[in-house]
Amino acid sequence: MGITRKWSKMQRDQVVLLRKAGTSWPKISKKLGIPRSTCIGIWKEDSDGKVGLPEVPQKQIETARVLKMVPNARLMLIYLMIGKGCIGA
């Protein structure tokens, strides 16, 4: 008889990454919907140092400017220049 794993590889990796990032067990449990004791068990099984924290991306947005304001005060149309390509509004 083998061990059946109810949690996917992605969920197990998320537990390890969140814990390495310093997130508490209750917050990990609530965010992923996995019991706290199970999260601790996953951490003990899978945290062998092979999964590292994701790299922080380099500065990507080089230019951003406001095109115009819109009636809703929380919104605005912006123009973004990313590298060689551009995203227009």
So what's the architecture of 9-46 in CATH? Orthogonal Bundle (1.10)
Confidence band for 30, pLDDT divided at 50, 70 and 90? very high
Which stretches of the chain are DSSP H helices? 9-20, 25-32, 36-46
CB contact set of 72 (below 8 Å; sequence gap of 6+): none
Sheet holding 61-69, edge to edge: 61-69, 76-82, 85-87
Average pLDDT for 31-42: 91
Contact 10, 46 (CB under 8 A): no
How far is residue 15's CA from residue 55's CA, in Å, rounded to a whole number? 17
**What is the mean pLDDT of the segment spanning 43-69?**
70
Structure tokens that stand for 77 in this block: 């149309």
Q: How confident is the model at residue 89 (pLDDT cuts 50, 70, 90)?
A: very low
Burial of 36: CB neighbours in 10 Å, binned 0-12, 13-18, 19+: middle
pLDDT over 70 at 10, yes or no:
yes
* Position 52 confidence tier, pLDDT thresholds 50, 70, 90: low
More confident position, 67 or 81: 67
Whether 76 has a pLDDT exceeding 90, the answer reads no
**Domain residue limits, the chain:** 9-46, 57-89
| Coil, helix or strand at residue 5 | coil
Mean pLDDT to the nearest integer, 17-29: 88
